[in-house]
Structure 1
Amino acid sequence: MKIIDNTLYQITVPTPFAVGDAHVYLLKGDVLSLIDAGVKTKEAYEALLIQLKQIGYHPRDIEQIILTHHHPDHTGLIEAFPRAREIMANHLVDLWLRKDEQYFNRYEDFFKEYFKQCDIPERFQSIGKKLRSLLSYAGEGHLTRTLEEGDRLPGHPDWQVLNTKGHAQSHVSFYRESDGIFIGGDHLLKNISSNPVVEPPIHEGERRASPMLQYRSSLLKCLSIEISQVLPGHGEIFSNVSEIVQSRFNKQEKRAANVLAFLQTGKQTAFQLCQKIFPVRYESQIDLTMSDIIGQLDYLEASGLVSKSTEGTTEFYEATTAAK
Structure 2
Amino acid sequence: MKVAKKSIQQMTVPTPFAVGDTHVYLLKGDTLSLVDAGVRTEAAWNALVEQLKEIGYKPNDIEQIILTHHHPDHTGLIDRFDRVTNIVGDKNVEPWLSHDDDYFSRFEAFYYEYFDANGVPSRFRSHIDKLRKQLVWAGKGILTTVIEEGDLLPGYPEFRVVETKGHAQSHLSFLRDDGTFIGGDHLLHHISPNPIMEPPSEGETERSKPLLQYRDNLEKCLSLDINVVLPGHGKIFTDVEEVVSRVYAKQENRANKVLSLLKEYSKTAFQLCEQLFPRQFESQIDLTMSETIGQLDYLENRGLVTTTMEDGVIIYHAN
Say yes or no: TM over 0.5: yes
Deviation string 1:253-279 (CA, Å, 9 cap, x unpaired) is: 110011001111221000000111111
Native 8 Å contact 1:231 1:237 kept in 2: yes
Deviation string 1:133-182 (CA, Å, 9 cap, x unpaired) is: 2100101011110010000011110011000000000000000122x111
Name the amino acid aligned to 1:142.
Answer: I
- 1:220 counterpart SS class: helix
| Structure 2, unaligned runs of 5 or more | none
- 1:1-324 matches, cutoff 5 A: 7-178=7-178, 180-203=179-202, 206-320=205-319
- Across the aligned residues of Structure 1 and Structure 2, the Cα RMSD in angstroms comes to 1.2
Name the amino acid aligned to 2:205.
Answer: E
Q: Percent identity of the aligned residues?
A: 57
* 2-structure distance, mates of 1:162, 1:21: 24
Deviation string 1:93-144 (CA, Å, 9 cap, x unpaired) is: 0111011111100100110111111111122222343222210010101111
* 2-structure distance, mates of 1:204, 1:280: 37
- 1:282 counterpart SS class: coil
How far apart are residue 204 of structure 1 and its match?
7.0
| Structure 1, unaligned runs of 5 or more | none
* 2-structure distance, mates of 1:221, 1:139: 31
* 1-structure distance, mates of 2:70, 2:97: 8
* 2-structure distance, mates of 1:224, 1:85: 35
Native 8 Å contact 2:6 2:29 kept in 1: no
How far apart are residue 226 of structure 1 and its match?
1.7
* 1-structure distance, mates of 2:112, 2:281: 17
Native 8 Å contact 2:33 2:66 kept in 1: yes
Deviation string 1:280-309 (CA, Å, 9 cap, x unpaired) is: 111221111111110000000000000011
When residues 217 and 22 of structure 1 are mapped into structure 2, their CA distance, relative to the original with a 3 A threshold, is same
TM-score by length of 1: 0.95
Name the amino acid aligned to 2:67.
Answer: L
Native 8 Å contact 1:111 1:127 kept in 2: no
Native 8 Å contact 2:112 2:128 kept in 1: no
Native 8 Å contact 1:256 1:300 kept in 2: yes
- 2:174 counterpart SS class: strand
How far apart are residue 55 of structure 1 and its match?
1.0
- 1:23 counterpart SS class: strand
* 2-structure distance, mates of 1:152, 1:146: 11
* 1-structure distance, mates of 2:204, 2:53: 49
How far apart are residue 6 of structure 1 and its match?
5.7
